[in-house]
Amino acid sequence: MRLCREKIRKAKAQLELKLATAINNNKKFFYKYTNSRRRAKETLHPLLDVEGSIVIKAEEKSEVLNAFFASGLTSCSQGTLPP
């Protein structure tokens, strides 16, 4: 297992070295690699509001999350912890 990890690390290092040395000649290759390494943005799944209805729109989701976290902060500031 350790040998496999070492080989993968060495292969990645060689690829990144190759990218760094060839950036002047082939910029597309470099940017393709860097963009592939970026993490994809994950969308937030539908939420349930206080009444139990499903919320899909981004503005509504932000309001539901804001209300949820605000209620936790107000109860903590009053000296009680949320359940």
Could you give the CA distance from residue 80 to residue 72 in angstroms, rounded to a whole number? 10
Q: Could you tell me which residue, 17 or 79, shows the higher pLDDT?
A: 17
Could you give the CA distance from residue 34 to residue 16 in angstroms, rounded to a whole number? 10
Q: What is the pLDDT of residues 60-77, one digit of tens each?
A: 988 998 988 887 666 555
pLDDT of residue 19: 85
Q: What is the pLDDT of residues 43-62, one digit of tens each?
A: 778 888 888 899 988 899 88
Could you give the CA distance from residue 31 to residue 28 in angstroms, rounded to a whole number? 5
The number of residues in the chain equals 83
The pairing of strands 54-55 and 47-48 is: antiparallel
Q: Closest Cα to residue 47, out of 39, 38, 56?
A: 56
DSSP 46: P
